Amino acid sequence: MIALKRKDFDFEKNLMTISKARGYSSNMGDGEQETKSIASERVIEINKKQ
């Protein structure tokens, strides 16, 4: 979740886009990077605020 930015959220369509990863272990390094595979990239529907 730390790699998410405001632009990854589409509140009009209630969608969240996952397109990058953030380093979390010593072999990944620090900072944002591409996801490990294309299968890791996804668009997720988010619930509307009630």
Q: What is the pLDDT of residue 27?
A: 61
pTM: 0.59
pLDDT tens-digit series, residues 7-44? 889 999 999 888 776 666 556 556 666 766 676 778 88
Question: How would you label 36-46 residue by residue, b for 16+ Cβ within 10 Å and e otherwise?
Answer: eeeeeeeeeee
Across 1-50, where does the E strand assignment appear? 9-10, 15-18, 21-22, 32-33, 42-45
Distance CA(41)–CA(26), nearest Å, equals 23
